Amino acid sequence: MAGILKVPGAFDVTPHKVSLCILLQVYASPNQLFVPFPFSSFAQHNRLGLFLLALTKSCDDILEPKLHELINQSREIGSSSIDWLADHLISRLSSLSSPDDLFNLFTEMRGVLAGQDAGIVEDDQIILDPNSNLGIFLRRCILAFNLLSFEGVCHLLTNIASYCKEVLSSRAPHEAHLDGSGVNLMEASEYENMDLENLVFEKVTEEIEAKKKAGERIPFHLHVPTPIFGLVEDIELSAKPTFKQSTKGKEAISYAMTLDGSSGAVDHGFFLRSNWQIQGYLLEQTDAIEKHGSSFPLNALEFMLGQLQKLAPELHRVHFLRYLNSLYHDDYASALENLHKYFDYSAGIEGFDGIPPSSGFNNSGRYEIALLCSGMLHFHFGHPKQAVEALTEAVRVSQQHSNDTCLAYTLAAICNLLSEIGISNASGLLGSSYSPVANMGTSLSIHQQLFVLLKESLKRAESLKLKRLVASNHLAMAKFHLMHVQRPVLSFGPKASMKLITSPINVCKELRLSSNLISDFDIESSMMITDGSLSTTWLKNLHRQRGSSVIFEETEPGNRSNASSFFSQPNSIPGSVSQLVGASYLLRATAWEMYGSAPLARMNALVYATCFADCASSVDAAVAYGKLIQYLAAYKGYKAAFAALKTVEEKFISVSKSQIMVLKLQLLHERALHRGHSKLAQQICDELAVLSSPVTGVDMDLKAEASFRHARTLLAAKQFSEAAAVAHALFCMCYKFNLRVQDASTLLLLAEIHKKSGNAVLGIPYALASLSFCESFNLDLLKASATLTLAELWLSLGSIHAKRALTLIHSALPMILGHGGLELRARAHIAEAKCHLSDASFSVPETSGVVLDSLRQACDELQILEYHELAAEAFYLMAITFDKMGQLEEREQAASSFQKHIMALEKVTDEEDPLLK
Amino acid sequence: MGSKEICRNELRIAVRQLSDRCLYSASKWAAEQLVGIELDPVKFTPSNTRFQRGSSSIHRRFRNNEITSTPIAGVSYVSTPVMEEDDIVDGDFYLLAKSYFDCREYRRAAHVLRDQSGKKAVFLQCYALYLAGEKRKDEENIELEGPLGKSDAVNKELVSLERELSMLRKNGSIDPFGLYLYGLVLKEKGNEHLARNLLVESVNSYPWNWSAWSELQSLCTTIDILHSLPLNNHWMKDFFLAGAYQELRMHNESLAKYEYLQGTFSFSNYIQAQIAKVQYSLREFEQVEVIFEELLRNDPYRVEDMDMYSNVLYAKECFSALSYLAHRVFMTDKYRPESCCIIGNYYSLKGQHEKSVMYFRRALKLNKNCLSAWTLMGHEYIEMNNTPAAVDAYRRAVDINPCEFRAWYGLGQAYEMMGMPFYALHYFRKSVFLQPSDSRLWIAMAKCYENDQLHMLEEAIKCYRKAANSNDREAIALHQLAKLHRKLGRLEEAAFYYKKDLERMEAEERDGPNMVEALLFLATHCKDQKRFEEAEVYCTRLLDYTGPEKETAKSLLRGMRIAQSGFPSMSAEHFPP
């Protein structure tokens, strides 16, 4: 039905193996004397033996070396007799002109083996023990040859002809006499016309060069050629353990050519080695795609996959890779198509275990995984409704087939989905068809449902011992605790305590639990096998297969270098695990950022960037770098931030464009606001808004951010009523989509707007509301900032409230000075100074030190930020203070600084910003 | 259209020229059309009468259409001068080579012609080489892998052929046949664009080579490509366009073209079969059956297209006719994919699915790209409840031709059977996209939406509405629409659809539980709406039926009388519907 899948590791006779046999014959020819003819010493003879041993070990590669490569390799034996060997090999091969010659060759081979009944064995006779490695190899070859049908023999013959035609044509002038190669030569010239190999190769090099030009350095060393080079490095394992280094580059290129050129319709087929090897290659590609996301070269991989599909049409995993590839390049149609194709062909079974599809018909396939994947696909493309449908169906089907593993993963996926889409989206989704939560009754809010689901999924994962899933569930739990107000789930009524507060302790606990994963993996690395169900983890399964074969080989003596090159990663912790652990650090950074501890947030981001960058997906890495840069901007000013941004941009050339892009726009916007370029700020703001997806309910963070900045821009342009309107709309949206943190900051912004518009009485309630929000969500820094705003509001109500304002400021100061950014600190300082100045009981000479100190600090900080407006204010206050103190010179100085800032603010020079390009 | 006489003369010469070049299928086609041209009554000769025999009802019907459906009447045709042969007398070597070729000894034929320089000889040499490569490729396919898997054997002659032909083309010494072959080679190598250009060049200079046209047709995958071809306006172009329209699922356009062509080629079996194909796509099974009966009468040993006839017989459940057909093709040529499909269909109708699968497999062994065999095999596996195998079979059909809506539909069905209605929707959507006029597809999709697990009734209603609008034979859609609306509490809509359904059932004189249900609902509904007269009509009709409905109707009637006589409040409590 589904074609005949070649048994993995099927042993066919290939031209390469025939040449090995010929060499073996030379090595152990039965009728030779003590040291066989071409060799001058034992050492040489032994070296040939070792060489052959290495070659036989590596005969299960994807690619077999071509004849000239084999000859080149054999030169490394470094004997004078090599030329003779090569000539002998070529002449033997090219003399095979009829099937009968092949038959004779293999009959001769039998003579090389010493049979049990060989009788007396002379002492100095060289005999190949039939049970030695070489002997077994030879016997396998003979057996495989004997199994061939006549057609098979004919194929072998044509393959041999094309195998040696290249060498022959290069040697043509002086070796033409060797055999009747006239015909071969003619054919060879005909093949030379096909420039396909070169063409492809040229294309690849061109692309490499183009990339190089585009970005000086190639940071990840992972651009176009990687699929090929990665493949090659994987293959190279073998054959030449001792003399690999010298020729590495060259070899790599020629391999790459042969694989690409195999589309050339001539001699492919006999380069296809074992399935496991190709699957190993696919495994690496999958990892690479997931890691690098959209920066992964779409077409290069697509091309390789096309080639592979031609070579191995029954290898359906290629479709899966295509799916992944187009998924990460946001090609919806093709992703959907390939996903369905993969599961239609393989029934989701291929890759789980070695069962060939023909025997797989008895069970009903793993279509629940198809559903899971299609759910994720819809989620990825922002179709929450479809995603929920698919995942619900996945739950049902996996319950039907009692596939608990898949069920656990599906539940986790649903949790993820629920926590990502906003509440207003979800409420319409969860109709009666929503079985996982249907039994919980409708009285529960989405959050409570999500919480219950998370718990359930966590329990299930724990009982199934899916370590990675447990860890990621813990992470999800932490995220939940971070973002949501904890409410008792199942106790209702007036008596239930309704304390609304997020629980940082739980967050911390969950994060720690998720990090336990890494120690688990140290202890028992075999547990990963059970994870076989998630879309990509079938590949892990394969990893295990390969791994076990490595262990097996290692028990055999003398070939360690081979074995170690099997490992692409020498450490025992798989990439996905360290990715998860890394994610926990990233989440920690985010948590601290929200709770308001800048140093801790920065530290965690740094840990992530330094320790997990190599296994992180490029998106995550970009987030971490973004956090660090934002930190720089807030604490060190824009110069430092932009310098850092530049390096990061280079690092992620085209990678996760939007992440870095958003960051850059944010910084630019911030700076434009500070400098007073409101037109520019508005422009940037619009650009930011364009980046988000037009679909409602998707990219909510970005949308909220854009509209928040819009309001701020309007505020800076003194269009208060518009600003208030925008902020109000934003608040409604955030409330609707359950973005609580944004709610708090929006309230604060509203307070700010009212403060600036001189309507302090209106502002106070907003500030208070924001304060209470911050308290319940443990947003300490934001709370400090809200307190500051409240103080400013009080202050603007008149000098009688100066005392109250001052107490407020003092209460917030520790937090602000410890964790606040430059702007916040400066504002606090100015506010404090203002309080002192407006206080009736204030006497200049006594307290001027305090005032001047804080004002000076504020000035320094604001100058770093180039925040002209506030800086002008600070200098103004300073000038007044100096005036009161009678220090005229300093007063003049301050006044001129004030003038400078005001001027800068007024002449909004449209100096072309190089970064905006 | 050029006068019949011109066509006849051109075709006569073409048949000879084509068979001279061993382009047998093209020459067969041309000869078929040649005898398909209607005879002028003046030149009526008794020896030709056998082709007149079949002028039955359909012919007359089609002839009536001729005047109305002449879309391009008045377009002047380009008359392509009949190609002159460069050497009137074939060389001796050519004769030998042709004999070898006729004996299917292609390499030998090519070898004989190796030093010949005449255009004909060069073409035949290349063509023989090409066919030798094809033959070897087929053999290798079997040697290298199982015949049902995909295989990557290639025609090894393509490279040298391409080189040679491109050289000839550069020299300008290539004839239209050479161009055709060149196009064929390029198409096989995947260079579709150039292949298309070459084929256009070929058919423009020698339009009677049907093989070139059909290659060209297979390269026209979209309507835009088709319209962008710079084709001369020869009458052969109409044949081409008709076929291309058919491939692009523009059935009505295609039908119009064929009917127009039938004006000249009124006895062409080919055109009849093509019309049958179009009608089959339009699901006009009655007509298809008539045409095929006619065809078989004229051409009893025909195997081509007969699998479609068997599909029609299958759909109509004509056991004996199908078995008769199977027997006939079996005796004619049992090793044709069509024959195997017919036999497979027969067994399927008999409910012997294992045997049926065996014959479909045989068909696939004979031609692994046999689309209908993959699809039909999928259907069999569905019947056998082996869904994974069915999915695999359907998927292969879809990969061969992504426009095969039946296979998409089958995939959807298979997944629905596995309890994955949401996943199945993807496939139903595909099939509906390809064949939006087929009510069965819409109904299947609607059922999927209506499924308990999805329960997306609004979408289901939309689908049923589509189905009701597109010629729903079994009248499922109306009934379902009514039911769904009732379920959703939209009584007015429900009443509307029940009424429609009722009218339809009356018109088709069908009876049954649906009728009772419709009457009962309408009666209660009218009563609730206080339209007592109407309600009475329905109730009285219900009285004709036996069973509980009769009693309900009686009590309804009673209730209404009481209500009309002044006790309106009683009715609701006492006689709940």
Over residues A392-422, the pLDDT tens digits come to: 888 888 888 877 778 888 888 887 777 766 5
CB contact under 8 A, A393 and B146: no
pLDDT attached to residue B382:
93
Spatial CB neighbours of B393, under 8 Å, sequence gap ≥ 6: A1, B374, B375, B377, B378, B381
Q: Is B548 on the interface with A (CB under 8 A)?
A: no
Is pLDDT above 50 for A567?
no
For residues B430-458, average pLDDT:
87
Is residue A420 within 8 A of residue A391, CB to CB? The reply is no
Query: Taking Cα atoms as reference points, which of A502, A419, A415 lies closest to residue A461?
Result: A415
State how far residue A402 is from chain B, nearest Cα, in angstroms: 14
pLDDT recorded at residue B63: 42
Q: Nearest CA to A324 among A344, A305, A345?
A: A305
Tell me which residue of A201, A207, A213, A199 sits closest to A297, measured CA to CA. A207
- State the residue for tokens 């009673």: B558
Contacts of A371 in chain B (CB under 8 A): 420, 422-423
Closest by CA to A377, choosing from A342, A424, A422, A402, is A342
More reliable by pLDDT, A561 or A377: A377
Burial class (CB in 10 A: 0-12, 13-18, 19+), B27: buried
Distance (Å, whole) CA A228 – CA A204? 10
pLDDT of residue B179: 93
What is the residue type of B319? F
Both tokens of A187, joined, read: 């054919």
Sorted by sequence, the CB contacts under 8 Å of residue A44 that are 6+ apart come out as: A77, A79, A81
Q: What is the pLDDT of residues A337-355, one digit of tens each?
A: 888 888 888 765 554 433 3
Rounded to an integer, the average pLDDT of B481-502 is 88
Q: According to the model, what pLDDT value does residue A212 have?
A: 41
Confirm if A848 and A881 have CB atoms less than 8 A apart: yes
- What ranges in A556-617 are assigned the alpha helix state H? 560-566, 575-595, 598-611
Q: Is the model's pLDDT at A440 over the cut of 80?
A: no
The least confident of A683-692, B101-110, B249-258 is A683-692
pLDDT above 70 (res A189): no
- Angle at B257 (CA atoms; ends B252, B261), nearest 5 degrees: 145
pLDDT at A549: 32
Highest mean pLDDT, choosing among A426-430, A767-771, B566-570: A767-771
Instruction: Tell me what the mean pLDDT of segment A538-560 comes to.
Output: 33
Whether residue B163 lies within 8 A of chain A, CB to CB, comes out as: yes
Q: Are B418 and A340 within 8 A, CB to CB?
A: no
- pLDDT(B29) > 90: yes
Q: Which of B24, B186, B222, B208 is nearest to B104 (CA)?
A: B24
Distance between start and end Cα atoms, chain A: 58
Question: pLDDT value at position A885?
Answer: 78
Say whether pLDDT at B272 is over 80: yes
Binding-face residues of B in 125-144 toward A, CB within 8 A:
139-140, 143-144
Lowest mean pLDDT among A897-901, B47-51, B387-391, B437-441: B47-51
User: What is the spatial distance between Cα A246 and Cα A253, in angstroms, rounded to a whole number?
Assistant: 14
Looking at residue A8, the DSSP 8-state letter turns out to be T
8 Å CB contact between B255 and B278: yes
The CA distance from B494 to the nearest CA of chain A, in Å, is 24
The shares of helix, strand and coil residues in chain A, as percent rounded to the nearest 5, are 75, 0, 25
Query: Which two structure tokens, joined as six digits, stand for A716?
Result: 């800076």
Least confident range of A137-151, B80-94, B426-440: B80-94
Per-residue confidence (pLDDT) for residue A913, from 0 to 100: 52
| Range A594-598 average pLDDT | 78
Cα–Cα distance measured from residue B35 to residue B267, given in angstroms and rounded to the nearest whole number: 7
Q: Write out A658-702 in H/E/C secondary structure.
A: HHHHHHHHHHHHHHHHHHCCHHHHHHHHHHHHHHCCCCCCCCHHH
The residue that leads in pLDDT, A219 or B48, is: B48
At residue A560, the pLDDT reads: 32
Give the confidence band of A910 by pLDDT, cuts at 50, 70, 90.
Answer: low
Average pLDDT over residues A381-391: 81
pLDDT at residue B377 in the model: 93
Categorize the per-residue pLDDT at A201 as very low, low, confident or very high, splitting at 50, 70 and 90: very low
Across the interface, whether the CB atoms of B454 and A155 are under 8 A apart is answered no
Q: What is the pLDDT of residues A653-683, one digit of tens each?
A: 655 556 778 888 888 888 888 888 888 888 8
Residue-level pLDDT at A364 = 53
Asked if B160's CB is within 8 angstroms of A1's CB, the reply is no
What residues have CB less than 8 Å from A252, skipping those under 6 apart?
A229, A232, A233, A236
Q: A574-583, A618-627, A711-720, B93-102 — which is least confidently predicted?
A: A574-583
Which residues, other chains included, contact A861 with Cβ-Cβ below 8 Å and sequence gap of 6+?
Answer: A822, A823, A825, A826, A829
Q: Is the pLDDT at A508 greater than 80, yes or no?
A: no
**Which of A900-904, B66-70, B123-127 has the least mean pLDDT?**
B66-70
In B, minimum Cα distance to A333 occurs at B426
Percentage of chain A exceeding pLDDT 90 = 0
What is the average per-residue pLDDT within A470-489? 68
Three-state secondary structure call for residue A465: coil
Supply the mean pLDDT for chain A. 69
At B276 the pLDDT is 93
Q: Which of B345, B268, B276 is nearest to B305 (CA)?
A: B276
Token code pair at residue A842: 């204030």
Print the SS3 string covering B276-343: HHHHHHCCCHHHHHHHHHHHHHHCCCCCCCHHHHHHHHHHCCCHHHHHHHHHHHHHHCCCCHHHHHHH
**Is A328 in contact with A346 (CB distance < 8 Å)?**
no
Distance from CA of B335 to the nearest CA of A (A): 20
Residue B150 DSSP class: -
In this prediction, residue B273 has a pLDDT band, given cuts at 50, 70 and 90, of very high
Query: CA-CA distance, A491 to A465, in Å (whole number)?
Result: 31
pLDDT for the residue numbered A150? 80
Question: What would the mean pLDDT of A131-155 be, rounded to a whole number?
Answer: 84
The token pair that represents B292 in the structure block: 């095929």
Q: How far apart are CA A644 and CA A634, in angstroms?
A: 13
- In percent, the amount of chain A with pLDDT more than 70 equals 62
Q: Give residue ranges of A with CB < 8 Å to any B CB.
A: 1-4, 149, 151-152, 155, 190-191, 193-194, 265, 268-269, 310-311, 313-314, 336, 340-341, 344-345, 347, 357, 360-361, 364-365, 367, 370-371, 374, 386, 389-390, 392-393, 396-397, 400, 431-433
Subunit contact A1:B154, Cβ cutoff 8 A: no
Question: Does position B552 have pLDDT exceeding 90, yes or no?
Answer: no
Average pLDDT for chain B: 84
Q: What is the pLDDT of residue A755?
A: 86
pLDDT at A773: 83
Cβ partners under 8 Å of residue A26, min gap 6: A36, A38, A48, A85, A88
User: In a 3-state reduction of DSSP, which class is residue A350?
Assistant: strand
Residues with Cβ within 8 Å of residue B325, at least 6 apart in sequence: B306, B309, B310, B313, B342
- Mean pLDDT confidence for A143-161: 84
Residue scoring higher pLDDT (A274 or A451) = A451
B150 CB near a chain A CB, below 8 Å? yes
Of B415, B419, B453, the CB nearest to A433: B453
Answer whether residue A833 shows pLDDT above 50.
Answer: yes
Nearest to B388 among A313, A364, A400 (CB): A364
CB contact under 8 A, A431 and B455: yes
Cα end-to-end distance, chain B, whole Å: 68
d(CA A371, CA A393): 7
Of A255 and A510, the one with more pLDDT: A510
CB proximity list for A833: less than 8 A, separation 6 or greater: A851, A854, A855, A858, A874, A877, A881
Contacts of B409 (CB under 8 A, 6+ apart): B427, B428, B431, B440, B441, B444
Q: How many CB atoms lie within 10 A of CB A9?
A: 12
The per-residue pLDDT for A324 is: 83
Give A4-36 pLDDT, tens digit per residue: 333 444 677 888 888 888 888 888 765 555 555
CB contact under 8 A, B392 and A151: no
- By the CB < 8 Å criterion, does B426 face chain A? yes
Rounded to whole angstroms, the Cα distance separating A255 from A206 reads: 18
